[in-house]
Homo-oligomer: A and B are copies of this chain.
Amino acid sequence: MIKAGIVGGTGYTGVELLRILARHPEVELQAITSRSEAGQAVADMFPNLRGRVDLVFSEPDLGRLSECDVVFFATPNGIAMTMVPELIKAGVRVIDLAADFRLKDASLWQKWYGMEHACPNLLEEAVYGLVEINRGQIQEARLVANPGCYPTAVQLGFLPLIEEGLIDPTSLIADAKSGVSGAGRKASVGTLLCEASESFKAYGVPGHRHLPEIMQGLQYATGEQIGLTFVPHLTPMIRGIHATLYGRLTESGRDLQMIYTNKYSGEHFVDVMPAGAHPETRSVRGSNMVRLAVHQPQDGDVVVILAVIDNLVKGAAGQAVQNMNVMFGFDELDGLNDIAVIP
């Protein structure tokens, strides 16, 4: 049993961490902090946790957090980087679900996130927590940068072909669709039910913060320059990301289905569906699975990859726990054994 703390537990990734960790066989929840809700019982805010989590939100306190073996940051961007150095110094291992440690280049981070980085020296050490790609490094990591939701789906979808050099890396298109929970649990007009349901729209077409994160990951895999057009959309549902990925094949006659099957054989959480399949987001809702399908319409030179995840699980809290399992040598499935609820 290890002791875990959560900083910033009032958002959707926070409650999802609680839901998962409350049933994790190797974890004891030690503290969950929220400056605004300090003193309130967690289960009063999230009634699904009544009888399952008896924690009370507490003020973020480095002393108490330092007693944890692992601390998760489920905070807005820019918070973790102010607390992580001290926690690491105290021997605590950290998993940051925000974006603070995802980009290796501090100036690029500053450009996209609009603030100076508080501890750029940790960027090099931080391990990008896409387990299927970086499992080895994660085992040893003191600091894991949990990937963004879109980047998880887009990278796992593109990487098999990128690594094989089978698609032109300079003309990639990622048309991604997210449920509204990706916008978080903050009061705002744009994500009211009356604004976001029964409607569909793109957003951030001029530039979205997940663009440099995806490009960094793809570039690392291929070594070549990446050209990527990334268009996210808001979909009238709560959970789920569907990434529709387009690449131009540079070679013909290869068995694309087998490339994906081989790449992800042995992975618990990646399901390569049969040729011709169209994965639906609900097939992974509430679970840590990624489901993928590869298409080559009319045998042309455009490959279409479909990838679905639950943005709050494999795209956030579930992947964070998967990282923790790897870091502490637990069974990678611990706490992540749920089956998607259909219907």
Which segment of A77-85, A117-125, A187-195, A254-262 sits at the interface?
A187-195
Minimum CB–CB distance from A54 to chain B (whole Å) comes to 13
Q: Determine how many copies of this chain the complex contains.
A: 4
**In this assembly, does A295 line the interface, its C-beta being within 8 Å of a C-beta of chain B?**
yes
A229 to B304, CA, bound (A): 9
A residues 306-322 near B (Cβ < 8 Å) are 306, 308, 312
A residues 10-44 near B (Cβ < 8 Å) are 12, 15, 19, 22-23
Q: Is the CB of A201 within 8 A of B15?
A: no
Q: Is the CB of B233 within 8 A of A198?
A: no
A271 nearest CB neighbor, chain B only: B50
Q: How many residues of A contact B (CB 8 A)?
A: 85
Q: Counting chain B CB atoms within 10 Å of each CB, which of A185, A192, A271, A278 scores highest?
A: A192
**In this assembly, does A205 line the interface, its C-beta being within 8 Å of a C-beta of chain B?**
yes
Q: Is the CB of A199 within 8 A of B52?
A: no
**In this assembly, does A1 line the interface, its C-beta being within 8 Å of a C-beta of chain B?**
no
A202 to B241, CA, bound (A): 12
A192 to B298, CA, bound (A): 30
Query: Given the interface contacts A242-B200, A281-B199, does A48 sit within 8 Å of B229 by beta carbon?
Result: no
A181 to B196, CA, bound (A): 12
Query: Given the interface contacts A233-B177, A302-B229, does A244 sit within 8 Å of B339 by beta carbon?
Result: no
Q: Is the CB of A342 within 8 A of B15?
A: yes
A175 nearest CB neighbor, chain B only: B175
Minimum CB–CB distance from A23 to chain B (whole Å) comes to 7
The 8 sampled A-B contact pairs (Cβ below 8 Å) are A12-B343, A48-B282, A198-B239, A200-B308, A201-B308, A202-B278, A202-B306, A239-B343
7 additional A-B pairs beyond A191-B192, A198-B198, A200-B240, beta carbons within 8 Å, are: A19-B339, A187-B192, A191-B194, A198-B237, A198-B239, A198-B285, A199-B285
Chain A contacts to B: CB under 8 angstroms: 12, 15, 19, 22-23, 46-52, 171, 173, 175, 177, 179-181, 185-189, 191-203, 205-207, 227, 229-231, 233, 235-240, 242, 244, 246, 248, 271, 273, 276, 278-287, 291, 295, 297-298, 300, 302, 304, 306, 308, 312, 337-343
